[in-house]
Homo-oligomer: A and B are copies of this chain.
Amino acid sequence: MKKIAVVGATGYTGQELIRILVQHPNVKVHNAVSSSNSGKSYASVYPGLSKLADFTCSADDIDTLCSQVDLIFLALPHGLAAKMVSKDVLEKCAIVDLGADFRLKNAGDYDEWYDFTHPNPQLLDCSTYGLPELNREKIKSAKLIANPGCYATCSILSLAPLLKAGLIDESTVIVDAKSGVSGAGRSLSLGVHFDECNESIKAYKLGSHRHTPEIEQALNPYAKDSLAISFTPHLVPMNRGILCTTYGSLKKKVTDKDLFDLYREFYEDEQFIRIFDPQSGDYKYPETRWVKGSNYCDIGLSVDKRTNRAIVVGALDNLVKGAAGQAVQNMNIHFGWQESTGLTHAPIFPA
């Protein structure tokens, strides 16, 4: 049994990690760190995990933790992890950071997009982007894994095959993304006060969402030129789920079937990717309900023949494949375990 620490254990992402880890056969949660809830029983913060997570929150710092555990998950607001992690820490244990602090390779992007100057830019070279479907080999030997953002995971997985195949004009890529409210976390703010977002939909951060450079960076290896995409997030009145509707102008004529075959082949060996058949059945495109509680990313495809655009729709659970599930997937790769260990939860519907 590997010993694990979760730092930031009482945010939604931290709690989702705890939920998955207490059911994982190979690990034990050794420390659930929460500065705001230190000393409280975990179940007093999340009664749903009573009988399952019967430990107490602590305020342990990372320098102590790294000598006690085999791997630390960091689930913190951006800016905190960048200050905590050091070469010393990384020599003693592995880190999976679920925040943004080690995702971008260009330190200047933090100034531009995140409004802070990265305190440890040299670590950016040591970090590995933890998107297993595209980056599995590097993750195997990584000590510092930067777990992708929720929107980013969905966008990248939806677009990579299309870009790699050189099928679309790279200057035409648009991602119109929709997220449930849990993506905003457990911190209070007026925008996610129940009555302010229930029964309404809005677009936000037009042209300025922080996952934009992350998506571009991850897709650039598949593009001929440096990508610049339009990314528009929307807030949807539901707890969980992300749907990305992505658009790109096709450089040649292809059919729905061509796209279906392309994606099926690209993700042939991926157990967490499911490609919907646009030509058959009642359910031709993904819906967030079909992935809830699971580590799946579902992808659907359509050619808009009148405009010769490809439209690719991706769906995932923002707290699982978009955060905690993918982090555990990265942990499994790190320890050399079967990648789905502890991640076999079937989607729960209706829920």
How many angstroms from the CA of A309 to the CA of B296 in the assembled complex?
Answer: 32
Total chain A interface residues with beta-carbon distance under 8 A: 91
| Chain B nearest Cβ from A194, distance in angstroms | 4
B193 A186 Cβ-Cβ under 8 A:
yes
For the complex formed, measure the closest distance between the CB of A168 and the CB atoms of chain B, giving whole angstroms. Answer: 13
| Cβ contacts under 8 Å, A199 to chain B | 180, 199, 238-241, 289, 292, 350-351
Contacts A19-B347, A239-B350 known; 12 new A-B pairs at CB < 8 A: A19-B346, A22-B346, A48-B290, A48-B294, A172-B172, A181-B194, A181-B198, A182-B350, A188-B189, A195-B239, A200-B241, A240-B350
Closest 6 CB pairs of A and B: A200-B289, A195-B350, A202-B287, A207-B304, A48-B290, A48-B347
Interface residues of A in 159-179 (CB under 8 A from B): 171-172, 174, 176, 178
- Is A84 an interface residue when CB atoms closer than 8 A count as contact? no
- Which of A196, A243, A311, A348 counts the most B-chain CB atoms under 10 A from its CB? A348
> Which residues on B sit within 8 Å (CB–CB) of A238?
198-201, 237
- Tallying the copies of this chain within the complex gives 4
Considering the complex, which residues of chain A in the window 18-68 have a beta carbon less than 8 Å from any beta carbon of chain B? 19, 22-23, 44, 46-52
Contact A311 B230 (CB under 8 A): yes
* Known contacts A48-B347, A346-B52: A193-B188 contact under CB 8 Å: yes
Chain B binder among A75-83, A103-111, A143-151, A275-283 = A275-283
- A283 and chain B: residue at smallest CB distance: B47
Query: How many Å lie between the Cα of A240 and that of B195 in the bound state?
Result: 9
Tell me the bound Cα distance from A178 to B200 in angstroms.
Answer: 10
Residue pairs across A and B with Cβ atoms less than 8 A apart, 27 shown, are A19-B347, A19-B349, A47-B283, A47-B287, A48-B346, A49-B347, A51-B271, A178-B178, A178-B236, A181-B194, A192-B193, A194-B197, A194-B239, A195-B350, A198-B237, A199-B241, A200-B288, A200-B292, A201-B243, A202-B243, A202-B286, A203-B243, A207-B311, A230-B304, A230-B309, A232-B245, A345-B345
A274 CB within 8 Å of chain B:
yes
Q: Give the residues in chain B near A171, CB-CB below 8 Å.
A: 307
Contact in complex: A245, B203 (CB < 8 Å): yes
A134 at the interface (CB under 8 A from B): no
Convert A259-300 into 0s and 1s, putting 1 for each residue whose CB lies closer than 8 angstroms to a CB of B.
000000000000100101000011101111111111010101
Are B172's CB and A206's CB within 8 A? Answer: no
Residues of A within 8 A of B (CB): 12, 15, 19, 22-23, 44, 46-52, 171-172, 174, 176, 178, 180-182, 186, 188-190, 192-204, 206-207, 212, 228-230, 232, 234, 236-241, 243, 245, 247, 271, 274, 276, 281-283, 285-294, 296, 298, 300, 302-307, 309, 311, 313, 344-351
